Amino acid sequence: MEKPLPIRHLTSPRRSQPRLAPTVPRPQLTCSVTSMEEYDSEDGGVCVAPLKHFKSAALPPLCEQVHIVNINVALRRHTRVWSRRLGRWSSFDINPKDLRNPAEEVLKVLSDIFGAVIQEAEKTAGKAKLRFGLRPKTIRGPERIETSFPDAYLLLADKRSLEEDAGVDSWHDIAVSFGLKQDAGVSDDCKDDEEKVISALHHIMHGDPCRRATFGVTIDNTQMRFWFTCRAVTFMSEPFNFMTEPEHLIYFFCSLAFARDHELGWDPTIKRVRDGCQIQYDISVQSEDGETSVYRTTRVISDFGAGDLTGQGTRIFEATLQGRNGISVNNNERIVLKDSWRESDQAREDKILEQIFADLGEKADEARKYFLTVRDAADVFVDGKIDDTVNLLCRLPVGEEPQLVLQTTGVGLPPGFIDSDDPSECLKVQHKTHFRLVFHEVFQPVRELQSFAAVYETLQNAREGLELLHSVRWVHCDINPENVLRTGQSGKITGLEFAKRLGSDATHDVHRFTACEIAYQRYLFEPSPRLGDSFQHPRNLPQSQRMPFSYNPLHDLESLWWIQAWMIYFHVDHQDGHRSPGQTRWFHELFPRSRAARFAALATRIEYDMLPASFRKAAHALELMRGGLISAYADSEESAPWEYNEGVGKIADQLHSYISKCLQFCVAVSEGVAIFRPRAPDA
C-alpha cells in the first residue's frame, strides 16, 4: 500500500466576499450575510490523493456503455484531435505557459476536447448530461450580483435553475468548476488556480441547498488536478500531464458527463420551486415508518453552518407542510426545518434528547421548556440508501482508505487554531450522515437579536437548561450563537448532536466559542510548583504523563461566556455605526487566529472603557464572570488525576449560581439597549 500523502493547508475565501444571490427571504432583524470577522473560521486542510484513488473514491462509476480505451483509440485516429508526431492533443503544439493568452486559449481547446470525447462516447452511451461552458465576459440577470464565475465549468445540459432568462448560465447548474493558473509554470507560490477552484466549491456548497458534493479541476501549465468536496472531506488528486496522458482526462469527462444527478452531487430530496415571485425549496422528510412529508420553505433562519466546505452544513428554514405521502395538505402553520450532517457514529438529536429526558426522570417535564419540540425526524435517503459520505465515497476499495487519511487539522482543531504546518500531518475522513429535523417552535438564533436585554434573558434560560443537563451528568459540547435560541419570550438550546454523558470519549466540534481547554485537549489550570517548595518534594510537581482529558460542565459555561464576549465586542449600539479602534482591537484580542492567543485573552483582565457607554455595565459583569470561570477551573484542577467527583460538581454548581446572578444583573442594566452589526468595513 502506498504511503499516505501529506496535507496541503488551503483556505476557503473569507465570508465577507459576495455570495450566491439570496433566493429565500431572510430574517428582517439582521443582515443575511455573516462576515468572516463575525466568526472567523475557515475550512480545513486539503489532502492530496493518488490519481487512481481519486477516481475510485470520488468519481461516479463509468456507464457500462462507455469504454475509455475505445474512445482513446478513436480520438488518436483524428489528426485534428491528436498529434502522433507530438504525442499530445493537436491544438497544443506548445505548452500553455508559452501561449500569448493562455487562459482563453487553453479553456477553448479544453472545450473542443470535451466535445470530441463526448461525441465518441455518445455513440454507445446516449446523450450526455453535461456541457462545457466558458465564463461569460458579461453577466446578466440575477447572476450579476454573484461572485465571479469559474474560468470554465461543466454544467447540466437540462437546466435545474429557474432563472427567467433560459440562455443565462447559472451556478445552480454547475457540476465541475475549472481554475487556470495565470502565471502557469512560473511560481509555485502563486496558487490562484487553487484559490479560484476553492472559491467556486465554497460558493456552490454554501449557496445551493440542493448540493451534497461538487467537483473541480485546476490547471497549471501542462499539469492538471481533479478536486472533490463533500461535507466530510475536500481532496485533490496528484497532478498529471493532461497533454500526454489523455486517458485520465477522458475518464474524468465520461464518468461525470453520463452520471446521474445524485452522483454529480445534487440532492434529489430538495427541489427548487418558484412560489409567486420568489424561489423556495420543497424539502422531503421520510420518517422511519415510511411516511414522506414535503415542506416548503418560507425563509432562511440560519445558513451559517453551511459556510464551510466540510462540516455539518447546517441550514435552518422556516417552512410549511405542503403534502404527505403525495397528497396535498392545506396547512399554513409555520414550523422550523433543520437540514444537517452529523458525524456517522453519533446519534441524531431527537434520539439524544430522548436519552436526556429519560435520565432527568421527574425533572423531564421541567426541562422540556428549555429544548425544542421535535415534530418529525429522519435520516435522508438517496437512491434507496441512507445519504452519508460513506456512500458518496463508497467506490474507495475496501482496505485502501488509509490512502485518504483525512482528519480535521491539529487534533480536531479548525485551521484558525493551527499552530504548526507539520508536513507529515495527515487527515482522516470523519464521515457524516445527512438528516432532517422538524420543530414545532419557530425561533431566532441569539446572534440575530437586537435587544441586549433579550440576549441576556435568552442566555439565562440557556444556562438554566444547561444546569439541568449537568445535574444528570450530561454536557452539551456545542454551545454557540447558532444553538442558543429565542422563541417567544424564552430561550432554548438546540444542536445536541455532540451532547454526551460525562466521561464519554466521543468527539465534538471545535469552534470560536469552544472552551480553550477543548482546543488544546488538555487541562490548562493545573497547579504549578510554588516558591519555597522543597526540591526533593515539591507539592505540585507536574505529572510525567498528561492526564486523560474529557469535556466537563465548566466548558459549556465558558462557551456561554464567549457568546457574551462576541455580542459585546463585535456589535455597536446604533444603526450604521462603526466600532471604535479600541473596540476593534479588543475584538481581535478576544477572537484571534491562534488558540494560544485566545487562551491568553481568557487569562487576561478585559478592558471595556472603549465600548459604547450602554455596553460597559454588561462588560463589567463579563469580566466578573471571567474571573469566576478562571477560579472555578483552578479549584477543580487542584487534584490529580482529574475526575468529575462531588467536589468538582459543587464547583460547577457554584459557578452556575454566580453566572446566574451576573446574567440577572445584565438583564437589568441592558433594558432599552439595542445592538447592531457594525457598518462596513468593520463588519
Burial of 137 (0-12, 13-18, 19+ CB in 10 A): exposed
Rounded-to-integer distance, Cα 546 and Cα 117, Å: 59
SS3 call for 200: helix
Please give the single-letter amino acid code of residue 487.
T
Per-residue pLDDT at 536: 59
Q: What is the mean pLDDT of residues 295-313?
A: 92
pLDDT level of residue 509 (50, 70, 90 thresholds): low
Q: What is the pLDDT of residues 150-196, one digit of tens each?
A: 999 999 999 888 866 667 899 999 999 999 987 655 555 567 889 99
What DSSP designation does 633 have?
Answer: H
Q: What's the mean pLDDT in 302-320?
A: 92
Of the candidates 294, 313, 296, 443, which has an alpha carbon nearest to the alpha carbon of residue 378? 294
Residue 404 has pLDDT above 70, yes or no: no
Q: What is the mean pLDDT of residues 394-400?
A: 46
Identify the pLDDT of residue 50. 92
pLDDT confidence of residue 288: 82
Listed range (139-148, 227-236, 580-589) with the worst mean pLDDT? 139-148
Helix or strand or coil: residue 385? Answer: strand
Pull the grid cell for residue 262.
445524485
Do residues 372 and 492 make contact, with C-beta atoms less than 8 angstroms apart? yes
Q: Look at residue 104 in the predicted model and tell me its pLDDT.
A: 84
Lowest-pLDDT choice from 221-225, 604-608, 620-624, 639-643? 639-643
DSSP code string of 585-631: HHHHHHS-SSHHHHHHHHTS----TTS-GGGHHHHHHHHHHHHHHHH
620: its cell numbers: 463589567
Averaged pLDDT, 576-605: 94
Residue 344 three-state SS: coil
Distance from C-alpha of 554 to C-alpha of 665, rounded to nearest angstrom: 21
Question: Cell 465520461, residue?
Answer: 254
Instruction: Please report the sign of the dihedral spanned by the C-alpha atoms of residue 672, residue 673, residue 675, residue 679.
Output: positive
Mean pLDDT of the chain: 85
Q: Phi-psi region for residue 503, left (φ > 0), alpha (ψ -120 to 50) or beta?
A: left
Whether 152 and 133 have beta carbons less than 8 Å apart is answered as yes
Residue 1 CB coordination number (10 Å): 7
In the chain, the percentage of residues whose pLDDT exceeds 70 is 81
Whether residue 614 is predicted with pLDDT greater than 70 in this model: the reply is yes
User: Which H or E element spans position 48?
Assistant: strand 46-49
Predicted local confidence at residue 1, as pLDDT = 40
Spell out the CATH class of 456-669: mainly alpha
Amino acid at 234: T
Query: Rounded distance, CA 459 to CA 370, Å?
Result: 11
pLDDT at 11: 43
The pLDDT tens digits for 277-288 are 899 999 999 988
Question: Where in the chain are the domains?
Answer: 43-264, 270-388+427-442, 456-669
pLDDT tens per residue across span 53-88: 999 999 999 999 999 999 999 999 999 999 999 999
Q: Residue 234's pLDDT band (boundaries 50, 70, 90)?
A: very high
- Helix runs in 162-288, H state only: 192-207, 246-257
Q: What amino acid is encoded at 233 in this protein?
A: V
- Average pLDDT of 32-52? 55
What is the secondary structure of 513-533 as a DSSP string? TS-HHHHHTS-S------TT-
Check if the beta carbon of residue 207 is closer than 8 Å to that of residue 171: yes
- What is the pLDDT at residue 569? 98
Residue 429 has pLDDT above 80, yes or no: no
Asked whether 46 and 7 are in contact (CB, 8 A), the reply is yes
CB atoms within 10 A of CB 291: 12
Distance separating the N- and C-terminal Cα atoms of the chain: 49
Residue carrying C-alpha cell 504549578: 528
DSSP strand pairing (278-286 vs 292-302): antiparallel
Sort 388 into a burial class: Cβ within 10 Å, 0-12 / 13-18 / 19+.
buried
Closest-CA residue to 224 (of 71, 109, 81): 109
More confident residue, 430 or 521: 521
Q: In degrees to the nearest 10, what's the CA dihedral of 86, 88, 90, 95? A: -90
Q: Which residue has the higher pLDDT, 543 or 389?
A: 389
Q: Which helix (H) or strand (E) holds 99?
A: none
Helix runs in 372-473, H state only: 389-392, 409-412, 452-471
Give the Cα separation of 367 and 465 in Å (integer): 7
At 604, list the grid cell. Answer: 487576561
| pLDDT tens digits along 448-488 | 999 999 999 999 999 999 999 999 999 999 999 999 999 99
